[in-house]
């Protein structure tokens, strides 16, 4: 049943209410989804989500789409274990056609769908739904540049909630869209081409282009041979439907530019869209985080070393660099969603005598591993990579887990890798990095930093592995968040009457502290290695190779994330799922 137009504003209010209520309870991306409610309603009234292919960029703005397709009854499970994902997932619904989570993939993927449609002779519309922040990214630019070569029809919906591309030009935008999509205009143009040749069709196109140039500024899309329509009011459902209908009947690639208000419908989100971009679940304790501690130490180091500069890729709030940015405005660079560019620019600064510190989520570092290897490590440049959200990252799901920085980083020459477990060891690692003449990677987990330091300080700052507790028969070796798990395992062993394990903190993962490791391998019958990263390529695999090479009689137990895509759940639920708990460690020891 098609809803009466008069009821559409009521529907929009109801969708916003469901989003606000759910996100406040479960956490999630709020502002972007609130801003595209009317745009999504209009889109679903003009396109068939089961037949047409709607590709969301990132997926921050996909909540209204989920509610209005086939997941209203499940929406209360958003981001919960075994519930629906916070991002589009093909396995979740036939209306989700491409998995997303990282930005700027939509146009490339949509071009693939469009060419598949052409090759298979299918009849369907392909829509890439992208935000203005995601558009300013190398991958998106590469796709835009290639559209002309594909000679295929594609609809790009640009959700601009920052008015970053051009000024509003009122009713002329709609007039121009009507002109471009007008069937009579296109029939005349095609007839002239067919019977009189291209030479006589050109004046008709010049008349249209002359009108466009009079009423709107030129833009990069026209230069790329992509017809640009807009900007339009993305909250005007009736006009949006008209524009989408025109786009459906247009025979060339077209970009539809809609202005929206991020956080619309929630006054506090409209007033502070950055703060309300993403919310944590209600009831989650507010305490000092790893991000805050790392940025504070960077500020202290920068006060004493004018060569230190800091980088982030559109995550200044996420990595808590707001204070650094205000304190050192000339030494702070937010490059936008451009991780590859960021690392190579940092390499250039380092080669020029500056000391760059790059603050980046582990999951986003994946987008710049070539630059880390090719531009930084091969030249042995003093760039410090501060890897936030390393390890199991919780409810953001498979695209956002920080599990590859160690397996990949261990294979990169010249790179030293540190994994602090508390603020003291974080400070030690950052002090070492500030003095090194080569690249350093420091990884730290998501969430709260321990209130009390739990490891042992190294006066010379050189010990890569330190002993926290003595033990008999067996030892635990881990890093980062796993150190707390090892301490809890020792406590459980004491309660269960199991031999107390020694506990070792691997502060530096690469290069390994061979002197300390030799001591462990000659002192204990069993060694259990814990790590919050993929086990293939991890610390445990490195230790296993050393044991095999030396033909040591030590029994090795490895605990980490297996070769799987990690689904969304809380961090504690994920640790339970993959056996990173004291109970499983003790049970595995007793069964071995």
Q: Would you list the DSSP string of 506-573?
A: ESEEES--HHHHHHHHHH-SEEEEEEEEESTTSHHHHHHHHHHHHT---EEEEEEE-SSPPPS--HHH
- Residue 380: CB partners within 8 Å, gap ≥ 6? 414, 437, 438, 439
Q: State yes or no: pLDDT of 166 exceeds 60.
A: no
Q: State yes or no: pLDDT of 4 exceeds 60.
A: yes
* 406 shares a domain with 547: no
DSSP 157: E
Domain endpoint, select from 443, 475, 502: 443
Tell which residue, 121, 73, 129, has the closest CA to residue 96: 129
The alpha-helical segments, DSSP class H, found in 352-451 are: 362-365, 369-371, 405-409, 423-435
Question: Is-catalytic flag, 262?
Answer: yes
What's the pLDDT score for residue 208? 53
Helices (H) and strands (E) in the chain, counts: 25, 19
- Residue 201: CB partners within 8 Å, gap ≥ 6? 189, 192, 193
Residue 52 phi/psi, 5-degree rounding, is: -75, 160
* 485 shares a domain with 392: no
* 359 shares a domain with 235: no
* 258 shares a domain with 129: yes
* 20 shares a domain with 57: yes
Mean predicted confidence (pLDDT) in 253-271: 93
* 379 shares a domain with 471: no
Catalytic annotation, pick one of 71, 367, 427, 567: 367
Catalytic annotation, pick one of 16, 38, 320, 339: 339
- Give the domain CATH number at 476: 3.40.50.920
What's the pLDDT score for residue 194? 55
What's the pLDDT score for residue 187? 56
* 417 shares a domain with 526: no
Q: Which of the four pLDDT bands, split at 50, 70 and 90, describes residue 256?
A: very high
Q: State yes or no: pLDDT of 275 exceeds 70.
A: yes
Q: How far apart are the C-alpha atoms of 75 and 26, rounded to whole Å?
A: 10
Q: With DSSP H G I counted as helix, E B as strand and the rest as coil, what are the percentages for the chain, rounded to 5?
A: 45, 15, 40
* 432 shares a domain with 478: no
Given a contact cutoff of 8 angstroms between Cβ atoms, the answer to whether 1 and 230 are in contact is no
Residue 275 inside a domain? The answer is no
Question: Is-catalytic flag, 117?
Answer: no
Q: How far apart are the C-alpha atoms of 403 and 185, rounded to whole Å?
A: 55
| C-alpha radius of gyration, the chain, whole number | 27
* 17 shares a domain with 160: yes
Q: How far apart are the C-alpha atoms of 67 and 54, rounded to whole Å?
A: 15
Question: Is-catalytic flag, 193?
Answer: no
Number of domains in the chain: 3
Task: Provide the domain limits for residue 127.
Answer: 5-169+227-267
* 399 shares a domain with 544: no
What's the pLDDT score for residue 222? 79
Tell which residue, 421, 429, 431, 391, has the closest CA to residue 407: 391
What's the pLDDT score for residue 591? 95
565-576 confidence digits (pLDDT tens)? 999 999 999 999
- Residue 283: CB partners within 8 Å, gap ≥ 6? none
Tell which residue, 310, 328, 331, 309, has the closest CA to residue 319: 310
- Residue 199: CB partners within 8 Å, gap ≥ 6? none
Residue 190 inside a domain? The answer is no
81-118 confidence digits (pLDDT tens)? 999 999 999 999 999 999 999 999 999 999 999 999 99
Instruction: Give the number of other Cβ atoms within 10 Å of residue 121's Cβ.
Output: 6
Catalytic annotation, pick one of 53, 79, 262, 510: 262
Residue 454 inside a domain? The answer is no
The string over 379-388, giving b where at least 16 C-beta atoms fall within 10 Å of a residue's C-beta and e elsewhere, is: eebbbbbbbb
What's the pLDDT score for residue 169? 37
Mean pLDDT of the chain: 91
Q: State yes or no: pLDDT of 170 exceeds 50.
A: no
What's the pLDDT score for residue 167? 40
* 378 shares a domain with 261: no
Q: How far apart are the C-alpha atoms of 377 and 383, rounded to whole Å?
A: 9
Q: Would you list the DSSP string of 433-447?
A: HHH-SS-EEEE--SS
Tokens of 509: 């993962």
Mean predicted confidence (pLDDT) in 163-190: 50
Residue 424 inside a domain? The answer is yes
Given a contact cutoff of 8 angstroms between Cβ atoms, the answer to whether 233 and 244 are in contact is no
In the chain, pLDDT over 70 holds for what percent of residues? 89
Residue 71 inside a domain? The answer is yes
Q: Which of the four pLDDT bands, split at 50, 70 and 90, describes residue 471?
A: very high
Q: Which residues is 559 bridged to in the sheet? A: 530
Tokens of 142: 């590469």
In terms of average pLDDT, the best of 133-137, 177-181, 505-509 is 505-509
Given a contact cutoff of 8 angstroms between Cβ atoms, the answer to whether 477 and 465 are in contact is yes
Residue 536 phi/psi, 5-degree rounding, is: -60, 120
Q: State yes or no: pLDDT of 173 exceeds 90.
A: no
What's the pLDDT score for residue 278? 86
Between residues 204 and 158, which one has the greater pLDDT?
Answer: 158
334-385 confidence digits (pLDDT tens)? 999 999 999 999 999 999 999 999 999 999 999 999 999 999 999 999 999 9
Residue 278 phi/psi, 5-degree rounding, is: -140, 140
In terms of average pLDDT, the best of 158-162, 222-226, 230-234, 506-510 is 506-510
Residue 417 inside a domain? The answer is yes
Residue 157 inside a domain? The answer is yes
What's the pLDDT score for residue 217? 55
The alpha-helical segments, DSSP class H, found in 257-411 are: 267-271, 290-304, 322-327, 339-351, 362-365, 369-371, 405-409
Cβ burial, residue 411 (10 Å; 0-12/13-18/19+): exposed
180-238 confidence digits (pLDDT tens)? 565 554 554 555 455 555 454 555 555 555 555 544 556 788 788 899 998 899 999 99
* 82: three-class secondary structure by DSSP: coil
* 322 shares a domain with 233: no
What's the pLDDT score for residue 279? 86
Given a contact cutoff of 8 angstroms between Cβ atoms, the answer to whether 317 and 283 are in contact is no
Q: Which of the four pLDDT bands, split at 50, 70 and 90, describes residue 171?
A: low
Tokens of 241: 């439907």
In the chain, pLDDT over 90 holds for what percent of residues? 81
- Give the domain CATH number at 314: 3.40.50.970
Q: State yes or no: pLDDT of 461 exceeds 70.
A: no
Residue 247 inside a domain? The answer is yes
């Amino acid at each position: 049943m098609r809803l009466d137009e008069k009821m559409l504003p009521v529907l929009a209010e109801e969708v916003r209410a469901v989003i606000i209520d759910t996100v406040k309870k479960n956490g999630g991306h709020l502002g972007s989804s609130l801003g595209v409610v009317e745009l999504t309603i209009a889109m679903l009234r003009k396109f068939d989500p089961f037949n047409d292919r709607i590709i969301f960029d990132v997926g921050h703005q996909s909540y209204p789409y989920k509610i209005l397709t086939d997941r209203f009854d499940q929406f209360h499970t958003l981001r919960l274990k075994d519930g629906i994902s916070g991002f589009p997932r093909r396995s979740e619904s036939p209306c989700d056609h491409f998995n997303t989570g990282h930005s700027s993939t939509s146009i490339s993927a949509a071009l693939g769908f469009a060419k598949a449609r052409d090759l298979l002779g299918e009849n369907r519309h392909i829509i890439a739904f992208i935000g203005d922040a995601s558009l300013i990214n190398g991958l998106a630019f590469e796709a835009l540049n290639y559209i002309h070569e594909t000679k295929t029809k594609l609809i790009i919906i640009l959700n601009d909630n920052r008015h970053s591309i051009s000024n509003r030009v009122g009713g002329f935008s709609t007039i121009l869209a009507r002109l471009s999509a007008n069937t009579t205009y296109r029939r005349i143009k095609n007839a002239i081409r067919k019977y009189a040749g291209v030479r006589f069709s050109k004046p008709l196109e010049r008349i249209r282009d002359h009108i466009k140039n009079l009423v709107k500024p030129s833009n990069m899309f026209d230069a790329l041979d992509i017809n640009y329509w807009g900007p339009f009011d993305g909250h005007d459902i009736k006009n949006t439907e008209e524009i989408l209908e025109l786009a459906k009947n247009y025979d060339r690639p077209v970009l539809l530019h809609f202005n929206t208000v991020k956080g619309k419908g929630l006054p506090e989100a409209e007033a502070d869209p950055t703060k309300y971009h993403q919310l944590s679940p209600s009831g989650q304790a507010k305490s000092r985080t790893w991000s805050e501690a790392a940025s504070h130490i960077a500020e202290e180091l920068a006060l004493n070393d004018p060569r230190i500069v800091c980088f982030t890729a559109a995550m200044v709030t996420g990595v808590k660099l707001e204070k650094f940015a205000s304190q050192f405005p000339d030494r702070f660079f937010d490059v936008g969603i451009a991780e590859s560019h960021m690392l190579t620019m940092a390499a250039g600064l380092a080669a020029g005598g500056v000391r760059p510190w790059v603050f980046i989520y582990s999951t986003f570092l994946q987008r710049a591993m070539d630059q880390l290897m090719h531009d930084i490590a091969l030249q042995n440049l003093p760039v410090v990579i501060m890897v936030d959200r390393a390890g199991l990252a919780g409810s953001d799901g498979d695209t956002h887990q920080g599990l590859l920085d160690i397996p990949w980083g261990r294979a990169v020459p010249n790179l030293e890798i540190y994994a602090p477990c508390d603020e003291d060891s974080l400070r030690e690692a950052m002090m070492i990095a500030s003095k090194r003449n080569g690249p350093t990677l420091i990884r730290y987990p998501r969430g709260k930093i321990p209130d009390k330091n739990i490891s042992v300080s190294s006066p010379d700052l050189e010990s890569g592995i330190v002993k926290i507790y003595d033990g008999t028969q067996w030892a635990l070796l881990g890093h980062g968040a796993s150190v707390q798990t090892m301490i809890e395992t020792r406590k459980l062993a004491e309660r269960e009457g199991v031999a107390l394990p020694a506990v070792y903190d691997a502060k530096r993962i690469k290069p390994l502290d061979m002197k300390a490791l030799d001591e462990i391998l000659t002192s204990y019958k069993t060694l259990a290695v814990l790590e919050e990263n993929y086990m293939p390529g991890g610390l445990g695999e490195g230790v296993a190779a050393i044991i095999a090479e030396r033909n040591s009689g030590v029994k090795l137990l490895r605990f980490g994330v297996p070769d799987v895509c990690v689904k969304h759940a809380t961090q504690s639920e994920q640790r339970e799922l993959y056996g990173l708990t004291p109970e499983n460690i003790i049970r595995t020891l007793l069964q071995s």
